Amino acid sequence: MKVYRVTHPSELKERPAPASVALGNFDGVHRGHQAVIAKAMQQAALLGLRSAVMTFYPHPKEVLGLVQAPAYLTPLPDKLEMLAGMGLDAAYVVQFTPALSKLTPAEFIEQYIVGLNIKQVVTGFDFRFGHKGAGDIHTLARWSREKADFAFEVVSKIEQENHKISSSRIRSLLKAGEVSKVRDLLSRPYRITGLVVHGDKRGRTIGFPTANIAPAYPYVIPRYGVYAVYVVRGKHRYPGVVNVGKKPTFLQGDHPVSIEVHLLDFNGDLYGETLAIEFIDFLRSERKFESIEALRTQIESDIRRAHSILLGSTNV
């Protein structure tokens, strides 16, 4: 997949080939996003165009100061990896800036659709663009109908349990620890990738060595607690148990969030390696234990439950 890094004003050294493009932020690349992208790919095949997406980075809410600490479901490198895996020919990554946010809908269309040789546009039903979101699907449909610079298709709302599938809903579910529901909305487990760094090594002293994960990007962090997970290490995938939180049994006061994972059926040194944590199910909330023995007993129970969920057996 060819990646075009587009800055404002739009200036590319080469004019892209005619393309069918899905427009959107696509944070999470959830099932709703997947439907929009699939439609763009279908139209590309039908019309003999390249298949592509156009996404924006940083997220507009970050640039416009609508969020203080930006966090992503799929940071840009993860998003591009997923899009490439879907078989797209190209991705336009448009750098979102205050100047770009001030474009009128007509200016955006002229510069970033017509100007980039996009012949087919596909969006979700609620896509908005231009200064203060003044442009919408009706704006695009009218331009397509009156000026015929490009064809336009809209993908209807995709729902799960009578709720729209959206990035906002997925964020809310993660904050509630509902990672199994998130898995259904994403059509895959929620994933955090990071480097294994040195921690306090307490897990090893109580019989459950853990890998301390430093997230590679500003991910949305799920609710503090313990989860059954899979750990992806290269081409291998291991069952495990992860604790997300501030380790109240050992630490007092406010501390940075830690992500510590214990791999089942694994022995070895992981320091310096990059691992991906796939969240499968919520086991329990994080809490303070009165003794190390009480904590050890609870961890044994957590491992049995995770083993049952992940491998269908309580024998560990």
Which residues have a catalytic role annotated?
260
In the beta sheet, which residues pair with residue 258? Answer: 245
d(CA 236, CA 192): 16
- Do the Cβ atoms of 54 and 48 come closer than 8 Å? no
- Number of helices followed by number of strands (H, E) in the chain: 10, 14
Please count the other Cβ atoms lying within 10 Å of the Cβ belonging to residue 131. 14
- Closest C-alpha among 202, 203, 228 to residue 316: 228
Q: Which residues pair with 261 in a beta bridge?
A: 211, 242
**Alpha helix segments (H runs only) across 74-161:** 76-85, 98-101, 105-109, 137-147
How many C-beta atoms surround the C-beta of residue 210 within 10 A?
24
**Alpha carbon distances (Å) from 67 to 56, 59, 70, 72, 255:** 16, 10, 6, 12, 22
CA distances from 279 to 6, 134, 185 (A): 33, 38, 13
69: nearest Cα among 278, 218, 271, 239: 218
Residue 269 tokens, joined: 């040194």
